[in-house]
Every structure is written in structure tokens, then in C-alpha cells.
Chain A
Amino acid sequence: NSSTNMGLEAIIRKALMGKYDE
């Protein structure tokens, strides 16, 4: 899972931009 090591802020930024599945 590519998001395993992603921090909270990075997840939020990505999700805000609608980049869910990258």
C-alpha cells in the first residue's frame, strides 16, 4: 500500500486535490 508511510498532512493534501488513487 503506497499510503502506508504517508503522514496525515500528505494524505489530507492528496485527498483535498482529489488524488485518491495515485
Chain B
Amino acid sequence: EFTPEQQSLLDYIMDSYSKQQIPQEVSKKLLHEEFSAEGNFLILTEMATSHVQVLVEFTKKLPGFQTLDHEDQIALLKGSAVEAIYWKATIRSPWSLLFSNRPNSFSISDEFITPMFNFYKSIGELKMTQEEYALLTAIVILSPDRQYIKDRESVERLQEPLLDILQKCCKLHHPDNPQHFACLLGRLPELRTFNHHHAEMLMSWRVN
């Protein structure tokens, strides 16, 4: 069972998580037929910007986040934005819609796409609840081991209670699978790998 403090923390996070939506006029653009390279680039940029803005709004509401050193706040967000967005894409995937409508326009190689789709598939098989998604997003953002963090202990203090709540959620919703919590945490290094690939890909685009 959750303690009253844990329950209210969970309710609070779920409330801000449910408000985490990108504006409809941005997501609608994906459905428009637009196949020029420049058009695709603009849509992708606008979506990415919008996702980051929404992510920052969610993060600002995480209990204690605004008490962290300002530069640490930025380092946490910079380090986690790509992972949080990939993570979010496993739920409802506007990114995969974008890619499936415009298969070749980004010249993204199969070595990058295939592991990503396998990842999304394996997440689907975990049958995660909304609470688990929300908590894992918060846990990804509040990772104390990101680059350039000065006060790691303070970040740890914010992340730990969320891990406790996530563990309880896993026991509650997946009583038949005692490994569920470990399985979820095991996805996080995979997300980091995508983050590295993403950075490499951006760099190669820039060079080209």
C-alpha cells in the first residue's frame, strides 16, 4: 500500500502528466500530406520544440524541481529531453506516424530505426500502466548522473521517492510478475543508447 504522502505525490504527478499534451494544431500538421524535404524538416522541428516545451512544463511541476540549482535544472532537462520524448513516443507515437508517412525523407539508416522499433515493441509487451509511464518519465528526467550536474545529491533526493512509488505500482498492477520493476528499469540504459545515437545522427546531419 502507498503511504498517504506517496499517494498524494502520485496523484499530483498523474495530474500534471495528463496535462502534458502538445497543441492540436501542431500534431494535426502530421496528418497533412507534405512530402518536400523542407516541409518535413519544419514539421519535425516544430514538433520537437513543442514536445520540449510541454516536457519543461511537466518538469517544472515535479515536486522539488524548482528548488534545484538553476543550471542543474537545465542540465537535467538537456540530458533527458531526447529520452523523455522517445519514451513518450512509445505510448502514442506521432514520431512513428511521421516516419511511416515519409519513409525516406530523413535518410535515417536501418541500424537506427530497427532497434528503435524493437524497443517500442518490447515496451508494448510490458503492458505498462499510465502511472508507470508518468513515473518513469519523471525518473528519467531526475537522473542524478547526467553530465554537468553540480549537486547530484539533491537530484537523488527527488528521484528516490519516485522509484519507491514505481516499485509499489509494479507490485500492485503486476502481481504475477515480480520482475516487472527490474524490467522497467532495464529499459533506461536502452533509452540512453538512443540518446547517443540521436546525438550522432544530428551531428552527421549537421556535417552534411
Interface residues in chain A, defined as those with a beta carbon under 8 Å from any beta carbon in chain B: 1, 3-4, 6, 8-9, 11-13, 15-16, 20
Contact = CB atoms under 8 A, between A and B. Distances in A.
A12 B46 contact: no
Interface of B: 42, 45-46, 49, 52-53, 56-57, 60, 70, 73-74, 77-78, 81
Given A8-B81, A16-B70, A16-B77, 8 more contacts: A3-B45, A3-B49, A4-B42, A4-B49, A12-B81, A15-B56, A15-B57, A16-B60
Nearest to A2: B49
A6 to B, nearest CB: 7
Contact of B78 (A1, A3, A6, A8): A8
A15 B77 CA distance: 11
Nearest to B59: A16
Nearest to A12: B77
Contact of A11 (B52, B57, B60, B70): B52
The 9 nearest A-B residue pairs measured at CB:
A15-B56, A3-B49, A12-B77, A15-B53, A11-B52, A4-B45, A1-B46, A11-B49, A9-B78
A10 to B, nearest CB: 10
Given A1-B45, A4-B42, A16 B74 contact: yes
